[in-house]
């Protein structure tokens, strides 16, 4: 009988071993003194029973027509004088694709046989082989329990073969360690199955606090303590603060979701209050009998005053004052520079004004809506309106 041949892909998918174990129980009722023996020969899946008076092993094999190969083994059991049991263990040739070598073995232990062929078994595979032999019987074909699974480890997928056993053991086999922030979508104590998909996610939660400004409102109130056109700030506006605390969930380093834990106003805004004057300002009366309104910053420019159109300007007057003292004789003792309560800039008792010098030369006096003015300066306006007055103020 020719040797059987199997092919095994070592360390990757499966190893096939055929374990042949023969057990012969020969019982025969023979008469006392008979020389005949009942012989049971088990060869793979075939069993032959013969009666012979020649108990020689070679004679038995010749009578049954069974031939042994070079690496085959024979196990003989003699039960007293009446029966013989013979089990033939055929050698199995295994091709190791990793080493390109063929090994022949005939051990009864499948695991030992594979090891003798230069193939490595994991502890799980050895246990699986042992269990299979026990449950399937000595004539069963035994395959290594090794499954192809896909593991997604924090966003990186790998598909490999792992030994039979639990998911936990499979991860250890693959060198995957679970961290304290890792979540796995299967029970680690569950046994692996062919084609199983396992996902491991790294989940981290972060608490984030952000603040933002709350705008204030502005309200206006009438005040009879201010003249019409005048305003005053009664309450300075202040922005408020809003604080939001969120819980951010990161999966494999990427923001997955955001949950608002609290949203509170930690500082209330303060609304601004502006007063608007309602008190009527009395109209001044000058000795010439001309009655007119005052020029103010809120009444606008180009007010028609007693001597023509009036405007106002606010600039550094130090150069103008110096010129009036050095070239026109207005001494500091008699004509001190100062700012009147209403904001008019004064030289002595007179309001400093700019005018068209061809009509009103420097040093001349002119009537304005705010009092007697002293021409100290001029401006480009004089080319278009030589009678216009530009009054120096602190507005």
Q: What is the DSSP string of 302-359?
A: -EEETTEEEEEE----HHHHHHHHHHH---TTTS-EEE-TTSBEEETTEEEEE--TTT
**Hey, what CATH topology would domain 207-250+258-276 get?**
Resuscitation-promoting factor rpfb fold (2.20.230)
pLDDT at 285 over 60: no
Using CA atoms, how far apart are residues 361 and 329, in angstroms rounded to an integer? 14
Q: How far apart are CA 305 and CA 127, in angstroms?
A: 115
User: pLDDT tens-digit profile of 316-339?
Assistant: 999 999 999 999 999 999 999 999
Of the two residues 335 and 309, the one the predictor is more confident about is 335
Alpha helices in 29-164 (DSSP H): 57-64, 110-116, 123-136
340-360 per-position pLDDT tens digit: 998 999 999 999 999 999 999
So where are the chain's domains?
Answer: 8-17+92-143, 21-89, 146-205, 207-250+258-276, 283-392
User: Greatest CA separation found in the chain?
Assistant: 175
- For 180-211, how does the pLDDT look when each residue is reduced to its tens digit (9 = 90+)? 999 999 999 999 888 999 999 999 999 999 99
Q: Which residue has the higher pLDDT, 13 or 287?
A: 287
Nearest to 279 by CA among 223, 231, 241: 223
Neighbours of 346 (CB within 10 A): 18
Q: Does the structure show a pLDDT above 50 at 124?
A: no
Among 37-46, 75-84, 88-97, the range scoring the smallest mean pLDDT is: 88-97
Predicted confidence band at 109 (pLDDT cuts at 50, 70, 90)? Answer: very low
Band (pLDDT 50/70/90 cuts) for residue 98 is very low
pLDDT averaged over the chain?
Answer: 78
Q: Rounded to an integer, what is the distance from CA 300 to the centroid of its chain?
A: 60
Between residues 283 and 124, the one the model is more confident about: 283
Which residues are within 8 A (CB) of 240 and not within 5 positions of it... i.e. 6 or more apart? 213, 214, 216, 265, 267, 268, 269, 270
164, with CB counted inside 10 A (0-12, 13-18, 19+), is buried
Q: What is the pLDDT of residue 27?
A: 31
**Range from 18-27, 252-261, 374-383 carrying the lowest mean pLDDT:** 18-27
pLDDT at res. 92: 56
pLDDT at 282: 67
pLDDT for 300: 57
Of all residues in the chain, the percent with pLDDT exceeding 90 is 44
Q: Do domains 21-89 and 146-205 have the same CATH topology?
A: yes
Q: CA 87 from chain center: how many Å? A: 67
What confidence tens digit (pLDDT) does each residue in 134-171 have? 444 444 344 455 788 999 999 999 998 888 788 998 89
pTM for the full predicted model: 0.36
Query: What is the structure's pLDDT at 141?
Result: 42
Between residues 120 and 16, the one the model is more confident about: 120
In this predicted structure, what is the pLDDT of residue 88?
84
Which CATH number is correct for 21-89, 2.40.128, 3.20.20, 2.60.120, 3.10.20? 3.10.20
SS3 state of residue 168: helix
Please answer whether residues 4 and 17 qualify as being in contact, where contact means their C-beta atoms are separated by less than 8 angstroms.
no
| Model confidence at 369: pLDDT above 50 | yes
**14 — pLDDT class (breaks 50, 70, 90):** very low
Say if residue 69's pLDDT is above 90: no
Distance in angstroms (rounded) separating the CA atoms of residues 190 and 197? 13
**Where does the pLDDT of residue 93 fall: very low under 50, low under 70, confident under 90, or very high at 90 and above?**
low
- Measure the CA–CA gap between 48 and 279, rounded to whole angstroms: 134
- The hierarchical CATH code for the domain 146-205 is 3.10.20.30
Other Cβ atoms within 10 Å of 232 Cβ, number: 12
How confident is the model at residue 355, as a pLDDT? 95
User: Minimum mean pLDDT among 68-72, 215-219, 339-343: which range?
Assistant: 68-72
Size of the chain, expressed as the number of residues it contains: 395
First to last CA, the chain: 124
Confidence at residue 95, expressed as pLDDT on a 0 to 100 scale: 45
Q: What pLDDT sits at residue 91?
A: 66
| Nearest one of 340, 328, 313, 312 to 365, comparing CA atoms | 328
Tokens of 198: 């396992």
Measured distance CA(236)–CA(238) in Å, rounded: 7
Position 145 scores a pLDDT of 54
**Distance between CA atoms of residues 349 and 342, nearest Å:** 14
In order of 95, 269, 331, 382, 387, the CA distances from 361 in angstroms are 124, 56, 18, 12, 12
Mean per-residue pLDDT, 227-247? 93
The torsion defined by the Cα of 224, 344, 372 and 355, in degrees rounded to 10, comes to: -130
Mean pLDDT of the region 259-266: 95
């Amino acid at each position: 009988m020719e040797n059987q041949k199997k092919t095994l892909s070592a360390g990757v998918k499966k190893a096939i071993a055929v374990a042949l174990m023969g057990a012969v129980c020969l019982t025969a009722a023979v008469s006392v003194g008979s020389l005949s023996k009942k012989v049971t020969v088990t060869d793979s899946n075939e069993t032959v029973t013969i009666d012979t008076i020649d108990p020689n092993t070679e004679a038995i094999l010749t009578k049954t027509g069974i031939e042994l190969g070079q690496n085959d083994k024979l196990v003989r059991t003699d039960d007293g004088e009446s029966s013989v049991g013979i089990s033939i263990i055929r050698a199995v040739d295994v091709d190791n694709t990793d080493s390109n070598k063929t090994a022949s073995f005939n051990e009864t232990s499948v695991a030992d046989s594979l090891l003798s062929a230069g193939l490595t078994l994991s502890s799980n595979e050895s246990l699986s082989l042992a269990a299979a032999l026990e449950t399937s019987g000595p004539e069963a074909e035994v395959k290594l329990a090794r499954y192809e699974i896909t593991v997604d480890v924090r966003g990186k997928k790998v598909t490999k073969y792992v030994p039979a056993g639990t998911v936990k053991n499979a991860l250890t086999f693959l060198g995957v360690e679970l961290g304290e922030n890792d979540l796995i979508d299967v029970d680690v104590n569950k046994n692996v199955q062919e084609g199983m998909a396992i996902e491991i996610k790294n989940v981290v939660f972060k608490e984030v606090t952000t603040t933002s400004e709350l705008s204030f409102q502005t309200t206006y109130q009438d005040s009879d303590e201010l003249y019409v056109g005048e305003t005053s700030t009664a309450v300075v506006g202040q922005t408020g603060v809003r604080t939001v605390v969120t819980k951010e969930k990161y999966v494999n380093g990427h923001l997955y979701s955001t949950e608002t834990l609290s949203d509170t106003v930690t500082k209330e805004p303060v609304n601004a209050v502006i007063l608007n004057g309602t008190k009527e300002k009395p109209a001044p009366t000058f000795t010439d009998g001309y009655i007119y309104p005052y020029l103010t910053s809120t009444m606008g420019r180009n007010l028609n005053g007693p001597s023509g159109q009036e405007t106002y300007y606010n600039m550094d007057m130090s150069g103008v004052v110096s010129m009036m003292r050095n070239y026109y004789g207005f001494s500091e003792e008699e004509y001190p520079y100062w700012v009147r309560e209403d904001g008019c800039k004064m030289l002595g008792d007179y309001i400093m004004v700019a005018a068209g010098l061809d009509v009103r030369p420097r040093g001349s006096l002119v009537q304005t809506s705010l009092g007697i003015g002293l021409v100290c300066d001029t401006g480009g306006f004089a080319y278009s309106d030589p009678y216009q007055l530009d009054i120096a103020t602190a507005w």
